[in-house]
Amino acid sequence: MRLLTTTLALFLVAAAPAGANTFRQRLYDPAAGVMVVAHRGCHAAAPAHGFPSTAPENSLEALRRCIDIGVDIVEADVRRTQDGALVIMHDPSVNRTTDGDGLVSTLTLAQFQALQLEGGDEAPPTLEAFLRAARGRVMVTLHLKGPFAAQAAEVARATDASDWVLFKARAKEAMSPIADQPLYRDVAFMPMVGEGAARNADQLGAVITQQASGARAIPAVETRGLRSRGFAAVRDAAGAARVRVWINTLRMSSWKSFLGLSGDRRALRDPDTSWGRLIDKGVTIIHTDHPAQLLGYLKSRRLSEGVTIASAGEASTSSTTHAAFVAPR
């Protein structure tokens, strides 16, 4: 039986089981509460936490806010400059989010660092600077906007941040476990699964079973716009493999297709019928543009502290269960 500790001052995170002295350990324990992922950092206003205005997305300011608020994981978008440096930027160009213009891929690192983020007073960060600022304080998941996973992993190792970084890639039917690739030897890896990952929805579960069968464990599976049958198949397979189910609530379109939900917009008005329903369906990681509000909701229902989980045909409960996590059936 595990005990929960209410504080981990070093990491500035929500309560986690005793012994889970890294974010990575909590990530790999699906009974360790619902986890919150901040989309491009904590850029939305969070007045209850002392942030009445917005911050630039993918900025160090947005990262620091996440640490102060207590977010579990920060999502960051990674691109490569003309001279091969990895930097944090969502769009192909810098036009929307900075005072400059042009494609990231046509700018040198010096030109990129001379820019200023709109709505802030800092330059867009490099991947190295971002990981150094996050290291030991919050996990980071990288959305790589190009084929440079190996380079990103080397940056993580060079900054002594490999314990705090989560990589991901699309998995498909009959694909061998991606986590076993040498590239991911010392970083966390999570497969992503969408409707096109298998011939039909019922086969999507087999994709997860295969990805979880390797020598290196996976902590979670990210679902990508799955409909009802596909989501159920993935959730059941994840439950049997004892891994988390990750879903994002950023947009409205995919939710109406299988749960009748409206994502973040609905959640801000009625979290029980959006975030709450997802949790009741078996989701334990939620990716959102409103992490502060989600954390407040989880705290109100004590869902960040521990959950009851069960794989198909068997039940297993945390000794500090405070919320019902619907067992995959």
Question: Could you give the count of Cα atoms lying within 13 Å of 255 in the half-sphere of its Cβ?
Answer: 20
User: Do the Cβ atoms of 221 and 243 come closer than 8 Å?
Assistant: yes
233 vs 207: CA distance, rounded Å: 10
3-state secondary structure of 198: coil
pLDDT confidence of residue 266: 87
> Residue 5's pLDDT band (boundaries 50, 70, 90)?
very low
> Residue 245's pLDDT band (boundaries 50, 70, 90)?
very high
pLDDT confidence of residue 97: 97
Adjacent-strand bridge partners of 87: 79, 126
Average pLDDT, the chain: 85
58 vs 315: CA distance, rounded Å: 40
> Residue 6's pLDDT band (boundaries 50, 70, 90)?
very low
pTM for the model: 0.85
What domains can you pick out in the chain, each with its CATH number? 4-74+136-317 (3.20.20.190)
User: Do the Cβ atoms of 195 and 227 come closer than 8 Å?
Assistant: yes
pLDDT above 90 coverage of the chain, percent: 76
3-state secondary structure of 234: helix
More confident residue, 15 or 10: 15
What's the gap between Cα 328 and its chain centre?
Answer: 21
For residue 130, pLDDT beyond 60: yes
> Residue 250's pLDDT band (boundaries 50, 70, 90)?
confident
pLDDT confidence of residue 271: 94
48 CB neighbour count, 10 Å cutoff:
12
275 vs 306: CA distance, rounded Å: 16
For residue 190, pLDDT beyond 90: yes
CA angle 291, 261, 77 (to 5 degrees): 40
The mean pLDDT of 241-261, rounded to a whole number, is 70
pLDDT confidence of residue 263: 84
pLDDT confidence of residue 262: 54
Closest listed residue to residue 74, CA positions, set 140, 171, 7: 140
206 vs 23: CA distance, rounded Å: 28
The mean pLDDT of 3-10, rounded to a whole number, is 26
40 vs 45: CA distance, rounded Å: 13
For residue 144, pLDDT beyond 50: yes
Q: pLDDT tens, 278-301?
A: 999 999 999 999 999 999 999 999
pLDDT confidence of residue 23: 83
Q: Which residues contact 157 (CB under 8 A, 6 or more apart)?
A: 186
